[in-house]
């Protein structure tokens, strides 16, 4: 182990020093997110022993069953933002309305969008899950005016990333200057730089999609997947299939190894499944910063203008050349 390890906080401060006038507030905000991730990670480690597994008797705004850990994770973020007066509002997959952070309403400079615990179906079976976050500058206004102004374009995010709860707990973020990954040292309780300046390979050799939905696919999706499965030595086909069913886990593999992840539209789900503002857009910023691409089939995810806070979008994301090829099937 190297003697000089760089903590997440130190890394952010080093990056901030390159911006004259930076106040250091942003590094506190990232520390708040890291704190939430550490608390969630700790709860997950012993979830089977503490009665935290299983569902609550509740349905969330997406019409999905709320898992106990979904709520615990949502609270971990809310509590993290409660000090420091940095975040005015939090929009979450688990809450129909944005939550105003007590005491921060007109002071907080930032609004944060989160999927507090992504991959709900994998919680009870001990498979990798994660949290996703997206940070925007707070638009002017309050009440309903602010709520409307929260329909912010992905391109305007000032930072985004995710925590991954797998064999290690990791935090991966971008603040517009590359993508950096940190691994939690649970003995010390801090995140240390382990993956500096991540670049996604130009092209990969795996594809990731829920094949169980094949009978619902549009012909475009069927043709693209058939293409990936067809043998062709020059373009490295057939690709291997890999699908965890937790977006964060499938994305993280795609980021490090290359390839493509798809959650397309189908005749019953015109916008696919994943949510634009706290699933697709933050990962789109990460992948673009790593040299990859994210598209809804026609347009870059980062250029979409949300009509509602919880809106869904079809998603093709991964290596630049793989997403180019995928898009050519949807053109
Ligand atoms: P969640 O936010 O309720 O956990 O749902 C999102 C998850 C993603 O993590 C994953 O990519 C997708 O749903 C899997 O959906 P499916 O089971 O339809 O393949
Ligand atoms: Mg999710």
Does residue 211 sit in helix, strand or coil? helix
| Alpha-carbon torsion, ordered 42, 171, 96, 73, to 10 deg | 0
pLDDT tens digits for range 26-76:
889 999 999 999 999 999 999 999 999 998 888 877 788 888 999 999 999
Nearest partner of 211 among 141, 264, 289, judged by Cα: 264
Does residue 236 sit in helix, strand or coil? coil
Average pLDDT of the residues in 257-279: 97
**Atom 6 in ligand 1: residue holding the nearest Cα:** 119
Q: What is the CATH number of domain 3-195?
A: 3.30.540.10
Average pLDDT of the residues in 7-28: 83
Please tell me the number of the ligand nearest to residue 250's CA: 1
Q: What is the CATH number of domain 206-330?
A: 3.40.190.80
B/e letters for 222-248, b = 16+ CB within 10 Å, e = fewer, are eebbebbeeeeeeeeeebeebbbbbbb
Token pair listed for 51:
């009665």
What does the pLDDT read at residue 132?
A: 98
Site to substitute for ligand 1 among 247, 278, 279, most atoms within 8 A of C-beta: 247
Q: Which of 64-68, 96-100, 246-250, 254-258 has the lowest mean pLDDT?
A: 64-68
pLDDT tens digits for range 151-162:
999 999 999 999
**Atom 7 in ligand 1: residue holding the nearest Cα:** 119
pLDDT band at 107 (very low <50, low <70, confident <90, very high): confident
Cα 272 to ligand 1 centroid, rounded to whole Å: 11
Cα 151 to ligand 2 centroid, rounded to whole Å: 19
What does the pLDDT read at residue 3?
A: 57
Site to substitute for ligand 1 among 119, 209, 276, most atoms within 8 A of C-beta: 119
**Atom 15 in ligand 1: residue holding the nearest Cα:** 245
CA torsion sign for 321, 325, 326, 328 is positive
Angle among Cα 186, 187, 193 to the nearest 5 degrees reads 60
Q: Which of 18-22, 156-160, 233-237 has the lowest mean pLDDT?
A: 18-22
Average pLDDT taken over every residue of the chain: 94
Average pLDDT of the residues in 213-231: 97
**Atom 11 in ligand 1: residue holding the nearest Cα:** 247
Please tell me the number of the ligand nearest to residue 120's CA: 1
pLDDT band at 278 (very low <50, low <70, confident <90, very high): very high
Q: Where in the chain is the domain with CATH 3.40.190.80?
A: 206-330
**Atom 14 in ligand 1: residue holding the nearest Cα:** 245
Pairing of strands 159-165, 129-137: antiparallel
B/e letters for 204-218, b = 16+ CB within 10 Å, e = fewer, are bbbbbbeeeeeeebb
Q: Which residues line ligand 1 (CB under 6 A)?
A: 64, 93, 115, 118-121, 210, 245-247, 273
Q: Where in the chain is the domain with CATH 3.30.540.10?
A: 3-195
Q: Which atom of ligand 1 is nearest to the CA of 115?
A: 2
Average pLDDT of the residues in 217-237: 97
Q: Which atom of ligand 1 is nearest to the CA of 64?
A: 3
């Amino acid at each position: 182990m190297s003697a000089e390890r760089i903590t997440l906080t130190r890394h952010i401060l080093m990056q901030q020093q390159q911006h004259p006038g930076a106040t250091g507030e942003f590094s506190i905000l990232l520390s708040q997110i890291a704190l939430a991730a550490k608390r969630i990670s700790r709860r997950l480690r012993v979830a089977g022993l503490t009665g935290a597994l299983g569902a609550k008797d509740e349905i969330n705004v997406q019409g999905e069953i709320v898992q106990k850990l979904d709520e615990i994770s949502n609270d971990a973020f809310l509590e993290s933002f409660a000090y420091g007066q940095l975040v005015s509002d939090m929009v979450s997959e688990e809450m129909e309305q944005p939550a105003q952070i007590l005491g921060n309403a007109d002071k907080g400079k930032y609004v944060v969008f989160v999927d507090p615990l992504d991959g709900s179906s994998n919680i009870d079976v001990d498979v990798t899950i994660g949290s996703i976050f997206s940070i925007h500058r707070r638009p002017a206004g309050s009440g309903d005016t602010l709520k409307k102004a929260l329909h912010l374009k992905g391109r305007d995010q000032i930072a985004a990333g995710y925590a991954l709860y797998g064999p290690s707990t990791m935090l991966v973020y971008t603040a517009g200057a590359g993508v950096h990954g940190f691994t939690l040292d649970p003995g010390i309780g801090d995140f240390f730089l382990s993956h500096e300046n991540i670049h996604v390979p130009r092209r990969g050799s795996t594809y990731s999609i829920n094949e169980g939905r094949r009978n619902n696919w549009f012909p475009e999706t069927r043709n693209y997947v058939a293409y990936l499965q067809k043998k062709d030595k020059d373009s490295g086909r057939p690709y291997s299939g890999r699908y965890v069913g937790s977006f964060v886990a499938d994305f993280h593999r795609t980021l490090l190894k290359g390839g493509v992840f798809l959650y397309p539209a189908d005749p019953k789900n015109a916008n696919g499944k994943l949510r634009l503002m706290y699933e697709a857009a933050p990962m789109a910023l990460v992948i673009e910063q790593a040299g990859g691409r994210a598209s809804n089939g026609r347009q870059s995810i980062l250029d979409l203008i949300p009509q509602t806070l919880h809106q869904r979008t079809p998603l093709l994301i991964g290596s630049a050349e793989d997403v180019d090829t995928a898009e050519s099937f949807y053109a």
